[in-house]
Amino acid sequence: MFQPEDFIFHFNKEELPEQFTTTGEAPSNIAIVKYWGKKGLQISMNTSISFTLTKSKTITSVHAKKLSKPHDEVLFSFLFERKENPVFNKKLKDFFRRIEAYAPYIKNYKWHFESRNTFPHSSGIASSASGFAALAKIIMELEQKIRPENSPEFHLAKTSFIARLGSGSAARSVAGPVMIWGKHNEIKETSDNYAIVWNHLHKNFNTISDFIILVEEGTKQVSSTTGHALMQQHPFKEKRISIAQQRVIQTMNALETGDWEQFGKILEEEALMLHAMMMTSDPYYLLMKPETLKIIQSLWDYRKQTSIPVYFTLDAGANVHLIFPASYNNQIKDWLESDLKLDKNYISDYISS
């Protein structure tokens, strides 16, 4: 296991290439057991486990030119979908400051980034996870050029570590199909500082679909940052942490033994518990919409009638993720379009092992 000190980097200016041009991409992820509540700087209160998506990605191109001497602050320009965005610029500035000790060479360049998502802008899909994971991959590609002797294990762990300093859940977007983030006493190699790959999916979980129903597009009323902070004083904090720790183990068992029913139960319990935490915070709030509940209720009816193993999960928003074996794609499409008469868009993504 690596410690944050292992990621501190020292270099000579002469080692740095004059220019660096590349394209980095990373997908979004969907948590099965959710990260909710922080301790310290982007450290999760509990262990989380997630699926890495395939199609919903951020793709970022970069051109970096070496400066004659390092600048005090990282010099950069960042275009998202061809436009400047002051909110992104502020987030990037904070991110560069946080990673400075671990990737000090970033101050020796003037950077130009151009970024886009393959999923609709402001669709409510976690774009900070894919966005920061793509940036971490770019920075670590430069580091790999300077230190080609670094092991693949170190490279992956540090990429996840850097991504985490941008956005917690981004730690889990740097590889797949399943990633675990946060120290767990019963799972070797887990760390609070970065996520690890877990690769023991039973063949029943070979290809998993994630249809994301876009109930609400645009910015949420209460950000995840605020929600995480409200967990500090939450009356159910300790219980929430211990339940999450147990559920990570139960999830691994279900995924390893191919048990969709057990997996689906945890998935739905976690989605509802995440939202229950929001509803019982002080101040309390609600991110589900009437349409969210309508879809969940219809899904439960549909599952009862058909016995198709289709389950839902939610992020910190109103959108509903339908998770099921990809072999049922056509049935679920028919159900969404004909029976549910959904007037909302949905994105069909998948997790492949």
- Chain residues that interact with ligand PMV, rule: CB under 6 A: 31, 34-36, 48, 126, 128, 167-169, 224, 228, 274, 315-316
Closer CB to ligand PMV, 162 or 274, in the complex? 274
Helices in the chain by DSSP H: which ranges?
86-99, 127-146, 152-166, 224-230, 237-257, 260-279, 290-306, 329-334
Closer CB to ligand PMV, 34 or 158, in the complex? 34
Check the CA dihedral 170-271-44-221 and report its sign: positive
Q: What three-state secondary structure class fits 220?
A: coil
Q: How far is the CB of 223 from ligand PMV (least distance, A)?
A: 8
Closer CB to ligand PMV, 16 or 131, in the complex? 131
Q: How far is the CB of 84 from ligand PMV (least distance, A)?
A: 23
Q: How far is CA 41 from CA 104, 192, 236, in A?
A: 19, 11, 22
Q: How far is the CB of 66 from ligand PMV (least distance, A)?
A: 32
Q: Residue-wise over 136-171: b if at least 16 C-beta within 10 A, else e?
A: bbbbbbbbeeeeeeeeeebbbbbbbbbbbbbbbbbb
Q: How far is the CB of 129 from ligand PMV (least distance, A)?
A: 6
Closer CB to ligand PMV, 47 or 209, in the complex? 47
Closer CB to ligand PMV, 24 or 227, in the complex? 227
Q: How far is the CB of 271 from ligand PMV (least distance, A)?
A: 10
Closer CB to ligand PMV, 108 or 313, in the complex? 313
Q: How far is the CB of 134 from ligand PMV (least distance, A)?
A: 15
- Break the chain down into helix, strand, coil percent, rounded to 5: 40, 25, 35
Amino acid at 168: G
Could you give the CA distance from residue 186 to residue 192 in angstroms, rounded to a whole number? 14
